[in-house]
Amino acid sequence: MSKAINIITHGKTFTATLNDSVTAEAIWSALPLESKTNTWGDEIYFDIGVSVDMEPGASATVQLYDLGYWPPGHAFCIFFGRTPMSTGNEIRAASPVNLIGRIEALAEDLRKVPDGSRIRLEKAQ
């Protein structure tokens, strides 16, 4: 069963779907969550207070609009373009992340979210 979530920040709502991984299930169970954003190139990340280990298949290279979980920082990550670690056209996290889902539609407005903005994750209804 797919798990739809809303990512709400800076006056916008982005709909995403979590996958069936152990990490995604832990996050789903903890919703709703609120935090403050950090930006790193075209990535937004934030501590969600959920602790999960690195899963098999974790990767530092991700795709546009992938959602990840970065175990060292207990952080939810939203990838919407290149980061300072990227080379060429790849999108690269600081270190491997557990892939947990994807944003479902074009989300260019993520570039307008300033560092330190409030962000909320909740189950979509």
The tens digit of pLDDT for each residue in 94-118 reads: 999 999 999 988 888 999 999 999 9
Q: What is the pLDDT of residue 25?
A: 97
Predicted pLDDT of residue 1: 57
Could you tell me what percentage of the chain is helix, strand and coil, using 3-state DSSP and rounding each to the nearest 5? 15, 45, 40
Residue 107: the pLDDT is 83
Residues 51, 27: Cα–Cα separation, whole Å = 9
- Residue ranges of the chain with pLDDT lower than 70? 1
Global pTM reads: 0.95
